[in-house]
Each structure stands twice: as structure tokens, then as C-alpha cells.
Amino acid sequence: MLALDPVAARLFLPFAALIGLYVSWTDLRGMRIPNASVILLALVFVILGPFVLPLDTYGMRLLHLVVMLLAGMAATAARMMGAGDAKFIAAAAPFFALSDISAVMMLLAACMLAAFATHRAAKHSPLRRLAPDWESWDRGREFPMGTALSTTLTLYLALAAFG
């Protein structure tokens, strides 16, 4: 059982899922996660969070955003990840309960494997013709992590809401 309150998860889920779909599409299409989508995701938490979380929990979750933004900046500077991925991780961080970190890491690992395998399989199949100009097809070893990251957030909220 996840620590995130099911009521909070049900409120956050539709917004996070829609933003996540957009992030996945833009990352697959152009290997970019738009700043507007990251800001919108953060605003969903900032605006709705106080209505469904205790204020002390809400404040600590906002701290998650700051800590992950700083960590993401360091990882981007070290060329470990793209800036869009780092910003998305920071914007998504407040939605996760810290006590769920083990479950979140397992979910992220599964989403990364599934997204990578699906992307690579589609890249070398006739499905590629449906979107022949997607930049992610031709980026060599680079991978559009926005797909795995947004899927992790959406699945986590869905599991907390209905699991």
C-alpha cells in the first residue's frame, strides 16, 4: 500500500496524466520537454496540494521539488541527463511520498525498461512509418526519458488512487 492519500492521488491523476501524455509526445517527436509543461505540472501541485494534503506534508513536498531541481541541475551539468528530464523530475517530485521511494524506484525501473524496449522495437518496425520524422528515432544511443518519467508518475498516482 502506498503512502499517498487516495483522495489526493485521484485529484492529481487526471492533470498529471494529460500533462504526461503531452510530455511523452513532445519528447518522442523532438527530444524536448517544453518548459510550459513542466511549469504546468508544478502548478498543479502548488495549486491543488493544499486542498488535499496536510500543510506540513505539503511544505515538505515542495522541498522535494527544490532538492530534485538542484540535483537535476548537477546531473545536467555532468551530462548525465537532459535539462528537460531534470526539470520534469523536479516538477514531479512533490507528487511522491518519500516513504514510497522503494516502490517508486521499482516502478521507474519497470517503466524505463518498457519504454526503452517499446521505443527500440517500434523504431525498427513498420510502426516507424506512422511518425517518420520523430527525432527520437535517429538520436543514436539517446533515449526520450520523458516517456518513462511521465508514465512512472501516472502509474504511481493511479496505484495510489485505486490500488
3-state secondary structure 103-148: HHHHHHHHHHHHHHHHHHHHHCCHHHHHCCCCHHHHCCCCCCHHHH
Please tell me the predicted confidence (pLDDT) of residue 13.
Answer: 98
Q: Name the pLDDT band for 163 (thresholds 50, 70, 90).
A: confident
The residue with cell 511549469 is 39
Question: Helices H, strands E: what count in the chain?
Answer: 6, 0
Residue 67 in domain: yes
DSSP state of 99: G
Residue with cell 516502478: 107
Tell me which DSSP letter residue 88 carries.
H
pLDDT band at 8, cuts 50/70/90? Answer: very high
| 141 part of a folded domain | yes
For 33-46, write each residue's pLDDT tens digit.
999 999 999 999 99
In-domain check, residue 154: yes
Per-residue pLDDT averaged across 87-107, rounded?
98
Q: Is position 32 within any domain?
A: yes
Question: Is the pLDDT confidence value at 79 over 90?
Answer: yes
Averaged pLDDT for residues 141-161: 97
| Gap between the Cα atoms of 67 and 59, Å rounded | 13
Residue 83 lies in a domain: yes
- Model confidence at 5, pLDDT cuts 50, 70, 90, reads very high
Amino acid identity of residue 128, one-letter, is R
pLDDT grade for 134, boundaries at 50, 70 and 90: very high
Cβ-based neighbour number of residue 108 at 10 Å: 18
Please give the tally of structural domains in the chain: 1
Q: What is the pLDDT of residue 1?
A: 87
Q: How confident is the model at residue 23 (pLDDT cuts 50, 70, 90)?
A: very high
Give the range of the structural domain holding residue 141, as residue numbers without chain letter: 6-162
Would you say residue 1 lies in a domain? no
Phi, psi angle pair for 139, to nearest 5°: -100, 20
Q: What percent of the chain has pLDDT over 70?
A: 100
